[in-house]
Each structure stands twice: as C-alpha cells, then as structure tokens.
Amino acid sequence: MKIVFFGGSGFLGSHVCDKLSEAGHDVTIVDLQPSKWLRPDQHMIVGSLLDENLVNETVQGADAVFDFAGIADIGECNARPVDTAKINVLGNVILLEACRLANVKRYVFASSLYVYGKSGGFYRCSKQSCELYIENYHAMHGLEYTILRYGSLYGPRADRRNAIYRFVSEALEKGEITYYGSPTALREYIHVEDAALSTVEILNPEYANQNIVLTGSQPMQVGELFRMIGEMLGRELKIVCQNDPNSGHYQITPYAFMPRVGRKMTPHLSIDLGQGVLRVMEEVHRGMNTGTEEIGGYLVHSDGGED
C-alpha cells in the first residue's frame, strides 16, 4: 500500500513507520522536522499539516493516510489552547477533506484513552473533537477510518515528555522522582514497539470503521513502577507526589464520558514491562555517558573502561 504518514518523525510515529516499511508498504513521512530515523526506503517531506496545498498534493494517490501529528503533551496543550485547536483539530479537518477529495481508502488517527473521561484538559477536547469529525466524514462521505486510542506508551526514542523516560532520567540524575499525581494512580503501560506492530495490523479490512483501544496487559500502580526503577538501580529513591487535582491526568481510570465504544486490542506477543523499563534505563544512561557502547551486555567506554 502507498501510505502517507503525518507526524512520522515523532516518538510513536517513527516506530509505526518502521513497522509499515518492514511490512512492505511504500511510506512517505510528512512532518515539521526531518525524521532522525528515516530509512533508505522511506520518503520525507518537511511541511505543516496546516498547509492545505501541501496536504492536498501529498495525499494524491495514497491508499491510507495516518494522522499522528499535533501537540501530544497534556501540559503543553493546556498552556497553548489556541495552538492545540489549530494544529490538532483544524489540521485533522484539513487532512480529512484532502483524503475525501483524493478518494483515500483508509484514514488512521492516533487518539487517546483520555477521550473517555473528564481528565486531559484541552488535549482531551482536541481528541474528542477529531473523533467526531472523523466519524461524521465517514457518515457523510463514506471515508473509511480506524481510530486508535493509545494508552501510556514508553520505549526507545522518547524524551522527557514521556512519563517513564522522565521517571528514569530523574532517578538516574538525582535519585528523586517528582510525580504530579498520587502513587496509587493505575496505568497500563504499553511498549511503543508492541503498539507499532498492532498499528500495522489494523490496516486489515476487519478494522475498517473501528475504534481500537491499544494498552498494555500489565496494570500497575505508579508507585509500584517507582519501586521497580529503584530496585533496578539498587538504590532508595525519594518520591515526591504532588497529588495535583488540576494536572489533567486521571487517577484510576479514564472512563467517565463514553464516546463510541472501542474494541481493546492486545499484542499477541508483548515486551515485559520490567525488561522494557530496563532498556529505557540503558538508553538514558548511555545519553548521560557519551562515548559508551554495549559489548556483551555491558556498557563500556570507548577507551575500554567499564561503565
């Protein structure tokens, strides 16, 4: 399939693009910044989702279009509500209209579990709005879609906007983790590579016009995650929980408001949370200690000294 992927330079998008290319699809990435992980068999277009001429030209001849672009951090969305509406919502509508005119066969949208609840601030508002536009484009114009509601992602290529990456970074840097909520908050973390593999699978015909929930299979309290990180590091971590009710994040479950019910999809084989966190720890540690490489399972300095 010929696939145009908006937002393919980011954390989740780059992994999905990798899996799409590995599956034999022809992938064109459109993003504001060139992808650091661009493969030789992928095409890159630097541009904005709000550039209607660019969007209309790019989706011509595409079999499927992915919208993974926009502002994805809750705090950033709350601080930039106008930009969130422009980029997340208006950008989505511009892309939907371009897909309608180009007779694209499938529109794939990266949504969030936050669409179910009252948490998530302007981020939730933007995702709920996008879902409604997508469903109405299908009802009015027959544009087929798949909406993917992702849970708490983690894994390689993340930055400090990602919760687990930030937790591990703070633990390594200062032996302390600051958390906006309560340690009893429950999450179902899913490794980004598991999520990416499942995302490729939804191109199959049976997932057309479906809302799919993609989360991990290991529910865990955030406090237990902190203990796991501490045990891996072999140190007692100081945990500072702010218990901020205005953080925008949910406590136990995101479910309150009920949009169209989503089918939950669990990866057939998944990366164990503990092993996944360990890989993140190694990635962060390598970034803090430049000049190291992995040899025989150990990080060693390029001069031969073990780290």
Segment 141-166 mean pLDDT = 94
Query: Mean of the per-residue pLDDT values for the chain?
Result: 87
What integer pLDDT is reported at residue 261 of this predicted model? 62
**Is 6 in contact with 67 (CB distance < 8 Å)?**
yes
What integer pLDDT is reported at residue 292 of this predicted model? 53
Model confidence at 259, pLDDT cuts 50, 70, 90, reads low
Residue 148: strand, helix, or coil: strand
Cα–Cα distance for residue pair 47/215, rounded to 1 Å:
31
Q: Which of 135, 266, 138 is nearest to 212 (CA)?
A: 266
Residue 111 β-bridge partners = 149
Q: pLDDT of 175-200, one tens digit each?
A: 999 988 888 888 888 999 999 999 99
Q: Does the pLDDT at position 290 exceed 90?
A: no
Q: Report the greatest alpha carbon distance in the chain.
A: 65
Helix (H) or strand (E) run with residue 281 in it = helix 273-288
Q: Which of 152, 139, 140 is nearest to 260 (CA)?
A: 139
Q: How many CB atoms lie within 10 A of CB 44?
A: 16
Q: Does the pLDDT at position 256 exceed 80?
A: no
What integer pLDDT is reported at residue 291 of this predicted model? 59
Q: Tokens 């009802």 map to which residue?
A: 139
Residue 31 identity (one-letter amino acid): D
Q: pLDDT of 49-89, one tens digit each?
A: 999 999 999 999 999 999 999 999 888 999 999 999 999 99
Q: pLDDT of 195-242, one tens digit each?
A: 999 999 999 999 999 999 998 877 788 999 999 999 999 989 999 987
Q: Does the pLDDT at position 304 exceed 60?
A: no
Cα–Cα distance for residue pair 286/199, rounded to 1 Å:
29
